[in-house]
Amino acid sequence: MSTASTPTATAGDNPTRGRVRLVVAALLLQLAIGAVYAWSVFAKALQGADAWKLTKVQASIPFEVTIGVIFFGTYIGGRIQDRRGPRLVALVGGVLYSIGVILASFARGGDQLWLLVLGYGVIGGFGLGLAYIVPIAMLQKWFPDRRGLITGLAVGGFGFGAVLTAPVAQRLIAGSSGQPTAAFLPLGIAYLVLCLVGASQFKNPPEGYTVPGFVPKTTGRVVDSGRDYAPGEAMRTWQWYALTAILTLAVLAGISLISQAAASFTDIAGYSAIGAASAVGFLGLFNGGGRIFWAAISERIGRMTTFVAILAIEGVCLLVLPHVGNAVLFFVLAALIYLCYGGSFGTMPATAGDFFGVKFAGAIYGLMLIAWSLGGVVGPLITASLIGPDKAYTTAYTVIGIIALVGVVLPLITRIPRTRKTATEGSLGAEAGATGR
């Protein structure tokens, strides 16, 4: 039985009152944890600092571990928040994430790479996963009338996190006397404040919550049949695996550039180190904006059509990118990739809600985010290995681009499951208990 606080509305109350405040609180939390996308600024500094002198592959390890561990946080956090409520999970996740970043600040050389991986990667990544899943599931319950747009907003702040962090991190690194990791201490403290302020406002809607005047669609490109699948039921459908694969491919394509963004700007398009850091920070606007843009577009053209566009644009841009020496055109192509990468995260939560309902959204989408870990580990590993010391960007981005284009087939064949016979309340509750333990 859930012990989450579920206030009930009294007569005359506006049931939607306060839900906009929750969006603002979610954005504060996501801004803090979304700073992870500024890692390429640190990776470049760690390769050049005398105390570190890491190789390109070594410098990518903390980021890869972070992304790889995220799934464990989203898996556990999704299940706990469905039963205990969103506030506790978000607070614990935000604190762990911040502590991990602060711990990473004590690593002082290449022989302490393990400490950087432990703090930033393992502890920070797990906390990030716990915190990330919460506002996505929570806000879908508050905004059934704007599911696509609101999930885009819910994760939009995550993409915007790098916009603030990249230039600030570059300045902190420049003033750190050759010790890039020193920048993690003030950043970690700032993240802690944002996480605590945002997560402290989280709550689920009251029982029986409805939006006045909203009638769920049962036909069209975006539907809501009212059928809520328990996690185990969702995973017994082939569609759950298809959606997970689509997200994996979109993540793999986008994060392959993100993990090498600063170096790609300098090596391919001739940007200075400061110019590359500024560009990476500015690209966070497209990562964040893409989550809102594509999520909103998906409600007009359909979720699967949106993913066809996302994968196709990522693939074409990656094929062209290594052949572009013009600084402006290079930035435009990179921006499109960031826009689509962010869009996959903005669109998929609503897609999962369309397919399986929102009652168990935390657990179902939390499980689906294994795609983030798979794509986030495999993509950077392939890219860093193919680029290598010879800076073979053409080979690396061509391989990833082809993978994305082949992946277009998946959203073309994936459709919402046919309505099953409605399970009895007792059997559905038993299923939820069995799969949620």
CA 280, CA 389: separation in Å to the nearest integer?
A: 22
pLDDT of res. 163: 78
pLDDT of res. 1: 39
pLDDT digits (tens, 9 = 90+) for 317-366: 999 999 998 999 999 999 999 999 999 998 998 898 888 887 787 788 88
CA 38, CA 143: separation in Å to the nearest integer?
A: 30
pLDDT of res. 214: 63
Could you tell me if residue 433 is inside a domain? no
Give the mean pLDDT of 406-419. Answer: 89
pLDDT digits (tens, 9 = 90+) for 247-262: 999 999 999 998 888 8
Kindly state the tokens that stand for 299.
């409600």
pLDDT of res. 435: 34
pLDDT of res. 152: 82
Give the mean pLDDT of 390-417. Answer: 93
Query: Please, which pLDDT band fits residue 429 given cuts at 50, 70 and 90?
Result: very low
Query: Please, which pLDDT band fits residue 216 given cuts at 50, 70 and 90?
Result: low
Determine the structural domain holding residue 151 and report its residue range: 20-199+230-418
- Domains identified in the chain, total number: 1
pTM for the complete prediction? Answer: 0.75
Could you tell me if residue 389 is inside a domain? yes
More reliable by pLDDT, 359 or 399? 399
The residues near 392 (Cβ < 8 Å, ≥ 6 apart) are 386
Could you tell me if residue 15 is inside a domain? no
Could you tell me if residue 154 is inside a domain? yes
Tell me the CATH number at 313: 1.20.1250.20
Average pLDDT score over the chain: 84
More reliable by pLDDT, 224 or 132? 132
pLDDT digits (tens, 9 = 90+) for 369-380: 899 888 988 898
pLDDT of res. 85: 87
Could you tell me if residue 427 is inside a domain? no
pLDDT of res. 6: 43
Could you tell me if residue 214 is inside a domain? no
pLDDT digits (tens, 9 = 90+) for 163-214: 788 888 988 998 887 889 999 999 999 999 999 999 999 988 887 777 776 6
Could you tell me if residue 176 is inside a domain? yes
Query: Please, which pLDDT band fits residue 426 given cuts at 50, 70 and 90?
Result: very low
Q: Is the pLDDT of residue 425 over 50?
A: no
Could you tell me if residue 64 is inside a domain? yes
pLDDT of res. 422: 40
pLDDT of res. 424: 30
Give the mean pLDDT of 212-220. Answer: 58
Q: Is the pLDDT of residue 241 over 60?
A: yes
Kindly state the tokens that stand for 153.
């907003």
Give the mean pLDDT of 309-314. Answer: 97
Q: Is the pLDDT of residue 428 over 90?
A: no
pLDDT of res. 14: 63
pLDDT digits (tens, 9 = 90+) for 268-288: 998 888 888 788 878 878 888
pLDDT digits (tens, 9 = 90+) for 44-71: 889 888 888 888 788 888 988 998 888 8
- The residue behind tokens 């801004």 is 31
Give the mean pLDDT of 292-299. Answer: 89
